Amino acid sequence: MATKKNVVAIKQDIPEQIETLRADIKLLADTVKKQAKTTASAKVATAKDAAVERVDATKAKYDELTSSAESRIKDNPLTAVAIAVGAGLLLGAVTRR
């Protein structure tokens, strides 16, 4: 059975325990926040690296296609002009209507 002394001691101890609990919760929240930032930063870095790789691959493919088109135009200039004229006529006919 709790005595009057024990009840008084428990009542005095409660604010201390609440303060300790608050400090522990704050520490836990800070730890979770830091972990979330670390995880998010890692995911952002991974996504950025993947995007840079795709951009580089796309630029390389574009350069390759441009070089190929230039080579074909130099090798067959009359064919290139005929294709350009045909495309222009077709585009003109489509937009006229």
Rg (CA), the chain: 37
Q: Is the overall model pTM greater than 0.75, yes or no?
A: no
Are 24 and 32 in contact by the 8 Å Cβ rule? The answer is no
| Gap between the Cα atoms of 60 and 70, Å rounded | 15
| Gap between the Cα atoms of 97 and 95, Å rounded | 6
Average pLDDT of the segment spanning 90-95: 93
Q: What is the pLDDT of residues 23-57, one digit of tens each?
A: 999 999 999 999 999 999 999 999 999 999 999 99
SS3 1: coil
